[in-house]
Amino acid sequence: HSAHRTSGRHDYSRLRGLTGAVSFCSGLRGNWHHLGSRSLAKPSLTVRRPFNLSHGTTTLGFIFQGGVIAAADTRASAGGLVACPFVHKISPIHSHLVVTSSGSGADCMLWERILRREIRLYQLRHSRCLSICGTAKLLSFMLHPFKDDSAMTQTASSNGGPKLIYVCSDGARLQGDIFSVGSGSPYAYGILDGSLRWSLSNEEAISLAREAVFRATHRDAYSGNHVDLFHITAQGWTNTLSAVGMFDTV
């Protein structure tokens, strides 16, 4: 531990072994501790699903003059089955950072827990929070060995200026002002592209994000149930949850 405190750098080699072990723990039964790094080089070739389940979601994020808005539906689907009508696809990491996820629900939940733990450990070691760009880089590094997985995550923050960063499961990082991810994203973009502008008030931005997710749930079979929304500012984040049915008059 002393090496971590004096070097000021992440020990990413330790992370690589840890994430590989966790992934195999969730996919295999029995004793997996003997597996070496060579066995974990291509986990997708070892851990295979017996069959593919179609799944989808609608998540979005955008920047405006009042901070950052992140919104998502709450439906978890497995093929034609609505596995759960109320799933949190937006997870607060700390007071100024939230993560939205799209892809395999189990994978996304796992990576969010690992990311939250690593950021907390960084804060304890260095007495400061990891920057948003540094967080995106850390997440990208963790996801890269598992680039055949379907998990995708975007991060949003407004600490030290609003930032919105999209991190793909192949390790790619893109910073922008608007992103939408998931099977319902084309429908959400159709609403956002026509109405999004920098000068939106807080109420207008929240209403726009809700409507974009709402419209996507009516066109995408894998999205639906509720609209989960986070508004992130320099003071922190606030959360609201709305039932899709309440937007029938929009």
| Residues with a known catalytic role | 57
Residue 224, SS3? coil
C-alpha 127/C-alpha 110 separation (Å) is 25
Residue 146 burial (C-beta neighbours within 10 Å; 0-12, 13-18, 19+): buried
Q: Considering all CA atoms of the chain, what is the largest pairwise distance in Å, rounded to the nearest integer?
A: 60
Give the helix/strand (H/E) hosting 187: helix 185-195
Strands 59-64 and 178-181: antiparallel
The single residue listed with the structure tokens 């991810």 is: 181
Could you give the CA distance from residue 187 to residue 164 in angstroms, rounded to a whole number? Answer: 20
Q: Are strands 97-102 and 90-94 parallel, antiparallel or unpaired?
A: antiparallel
